[in-house]
Amino acid sequence: MSSDTKSQAERERRPKIIVGAPAAWRWLQSQNDGARQETAPSVAAADAFVSCLLELQERAVAFNLSPEAVHLASEIAALEPGLNVKQRLALIVLGVISLAALNQGSSRFPIDASAGGQALRPIAAALCGKKFIAAGLADISGEIESLLESRKDLSVIGRDPLAYTPLLYLKPYIYHQRVYHAELSLAERFSAILSGGVLTVSEPRLEAVLQDVLRRPTIGQGGALALSEEQKAAVSAVATHRVTIISGGPGTGKTSIVATMLRMLARIGVNAEKIALAAPTGKAAYRMGEALDRLLGTVAEPDEHDISLRLARPKPQTLHRLLAYSPSRGRFRYHHNNPLPASVVVVDEVSMVDLDLMRGLADAISDNARLVLIGDEEQLPSVAAGAVFRDLIQVGMHLEGRDQGSVDTWGKSPIPLASVKLRRNYRVDQEKAAGQAVAAFAQAINAGMPVDNAEQSGTNAKIRLARRASPAELAYRGVELLRLGASDLDSFLDRWYEDQVLGDAQVRSLARNIYRLTESDALGSAEADRLRPLFTHLQSSRILCATRVFSNGSERVNAILHARAAGHAGRPPEQMSWLPGEPIMALHNDYTRGLFNGDQGLVLQVRRAPTHRPFLAAVFQYGDILKAFPLETLRTAVELCYAMTVHKAQGSEFDHVALILPDDDLPLLTRELLYTALTRARSSVVLVGEEELIRTAARRKIERFSGLADHLVGMMKKGQGKTST
């Protein structure tokens, strides 16, 4: 054999470089070069090592992790000396598990059964398959536990809260060091806020104020709006508590509570200019403002407080804008040493707020301010780490002695945190069978009930799942199930495009028109009025997906529907990235343009003067104003949104929703995801996929491991209340 042939054979025997794992490769090379002969792997062991990493990359996709996650875990593991191949793989898998947990929103992850049941074993088994078994690592979770117990001196995993290492093992939990300290800091700040005690508003005065507000009700579509006892309790709590948490599903009257709350605060002397209203997304902030404008503008026989409030009420804004986030500096202008000039801060859709953003908000609240947090604890939690809303509800239950085995740590003292649960649904017209069916089905999923045509316990509602054999049978009423086995995805999308996307002749004409811009690059009021039916049509329906990726993810669905639109327009889809009339969504917060992550708009043809050439623009709605931005300047900042992930749909409402399920079961397919998707719809939901996946998801609740409640309750028991900086 020639030397060239030998060299070629040797090169082919060596493990291939893994994209995203150069550090692991460097480590293997150093081992083979004799840097540490006592642990140097054989070529076969090195091949097995690389095969395991390739398998880890492939399987990590099911946890919405990219290959870069395996790269990062490998980089960290490469810093640890003196490990054999099995130990190094165990360390890499532990790193990937910690990233998967973080990606699923956990701020910590239990390594042994004393903290989280058997959390480690199923996720380890899902990440590590045949290649690990072939490498002698059939029990990778056992190898991880053994590594942590036998190697107390790991340089990349600290065992002290003050250790400056990428990971912390504070038995029984593994933490990311940064996330641990963010959670601890947030607990300290909330402890400081709550240590200020309750606010003094006499019971007779509060009762008189509430009676005056209720004598002048706001007027809704069904007439004067009356508050239920649970809604009155929520409004009253705001008057006397530092922190009030209001949790309720869609349609439980949360916005009505906010309007009543503002009117109550005005009557007890809170200046409207000292009230801040916010939400995590621009869409949620806009909806909050729109609803408050409607409610406060319909007060029966308004007095001077109501008139003043209507004129001076602050406009809701995103939390980033409220806190004056600076992208260039990467920090907020408002913080503990420069607090918000607000005596009341009201935040909606708090279930979407992650650990870091809540930390920024809590740090900016002045010590004598009221904080009102509103959301739905049953919805999907924040995309990023933390379960802040859920944890604060748990703290409230603990302080009130409502959680199992807890005691009232405050003795006879008033509790400075109020937690109110809203249960009655006002949104769905109970006379409309379609809306009633959607609401009943969502409640059944949330309760973990079997998905059957059965009567829901405790109500008169029927849980009806209409099974359709083909897209042609869809009626867009109530909850329908279309099995992909009976008809492929493309056939369903053809039907959806014809029924829900194209619209009537007026809508199609509006999408094709060319619109004139004003000098400020906005559309004139007449043009905006003309376009209103098109924007209404845009918000009437949406396809939701569990993931962005895979064959049933939002990226592929958007590509298919874009091709349909291109074909309808007589244009090749590959030559047209955007078409007039297509829905789009902002991907990032853009403070210069006033665009925020999740904002939805349309692609339209516009021109600045009659003689100018028309160009494609992204047009977004700002109240009654339509602003246009040249698409060429936004190519990486927006994407098509015929379909969007369920996470992205939070804070939105549509008449008709389709939820496309993945082909196979995924860890992220949970009860919360189904519930969130179902509660986006007013009239109908089409579930596209296998019925067994729905049953599986309904049984699986999100396991989000976090320590905020433990930290906060512990601090309050000890009477701490340190202020974080």
Query: Is 150 buried (19+), middle (13-18) or exposed (0-12) by CB count in 10 A?
Result: exposed
Average pLDDT per block of 10 residues along the chain, 725 residues long: 42 39 50 45 77 90 84 90 88 93 85 71 90 89 90 90 92 91 90 75 83 81 72 86 86 83 90 90 82 85 86 87 84 92 92 88 90 84 72 76 41 64 64 72 79 46 76 92 80 94 90 87 84 89 90 91 89 76 87 79 88 89 82 88 89 90 85 90 92 88 82 74 38
**What is the rounded distance in angstroms from the CA atom of residue 138 to the CA atom of residue 129?**
8
| Per-residue DSSP letter, 129 | -
Contact between residue 377 and residue 343 where contact means Cβ atoms under 8 Å apart: no
Contact between residue 191 and residue 713 where contact means Cβ atoms under 8 Å apart: no
3-state secondary structure 181-201: HHHHHHHHHHHHHHCCCCCCC
Contact between residue 456 and residue 449 where contact means Cβ atoms under 8 Å apart: yes
Contact between residue 682 and residue 435 where contact means Cβ atoms under 8 Å apart: yes
Pairing of strands 275-279, 344-347: parallel
Q: Cβ–Cβ contacts within 10 Å for residue 300, how many?
A: 12
Q: Cβ–Cβ contacts within 10 Å for residue 315, how many?
A: 12
Where are the strands (E) in 498-637, listed by range? Answer: 514-516, 541-545, 583-586, 600-607, 615-622, 625-630
* Amino acid 11: pLDDT: 37
Query: Is 434 buried (19+), middle (13-18) or exposed (0-12) by CB count in 10 A?
Result: buried
Residue 55 corresponds to which amino acid? E
| Per-residue DSSP letter, 517 | B
* Amino acid 560: pLDDT: 93
**What is the rounded distance in angstroms from the CA atom of residue 414 to the CA atom of residue 240?**
10
Instruction: Give the tokens for residue 669.
Output: 């397919």
**What is the rounded distance in angstroms from the CA atom of residue 269 to the CA atom of residue 403?**
35
CA 520 from centre of chain: 34
**What is the rounded distance in angstroms from the CA atom of residue 342 to the CA atom of residue 322?**
11
Where are the strands (E) in 319-463, listed by range? Answer: 325-326, 331-332, 344-347, 370-375, 417-422, 454-455, 462-463
- The alpha carbons of the chain give a radius of gyration, in whole angstroms, of 28
Contact between residue 105 and residue 384 where contact means Cβ atoms under 8 Å apart: yes
Contacts of 144 (CB under 8 A, 6+ apart): 90, 93, 94, 97, 111, 120, 124
**What is the rounded distance in angstroms from the CA atom of residue 324 to the CA atom of residue 546?**
33
**Which of these, 42, 21, 57, 72, lies nearest to 135 by C-alpha position?**
42
Pairing of strands 331-332, 454-455: unpaired
Helix or strand holding residue 229 (H, E): helix 229-240
**What is the rounded distance in angstroms from the CA atom of residue 40 to the CA atom of residue 27?**
10
| Per-residue DSSP letter, 333 | S
Residue recorded with tokens 């405790």? 458
Residue recorded with tokens 């559309």? 523
* Amino acid 723: pLDDT: 37
Q: Dihedral angle at the C-alpha atoms of 60, 65, 69, 71, nearest 10 degrees?
A: 60
Buried b (16+ CB within 10 A) or exposed e, 239-250: bbbbbbbbbbbb
Residue recorded with tokens 């869609």? 250
Buried b (16+ CB within 10 A) or exposed e, 626-662: bbbbebeebeebbbbbbbbbbbbbbbbbbbbbbbbbb
* Beta-bridge mates of residue 480: 466, 686
Instruction: Give the tokens for residue 97.
Output: 């598990």
Instruction: Give the tokens for residue 710.
Output: 């433990």
Contact between residue 511 and residue 580 where contact means Cβ atoms under 8 Å apart: yes
**What is the rounded distance in angstroms from the CA atom of residue 413 to the CA atom of residue 399?**
11
**What is the rounded distance in angstroms from the CA atom of residue 323 to the CA atom of residue 432?**
42
* Amino acid 725: pLDDT: 32
Instruction: Give the tokens for residue 336.
Output: 């503990």
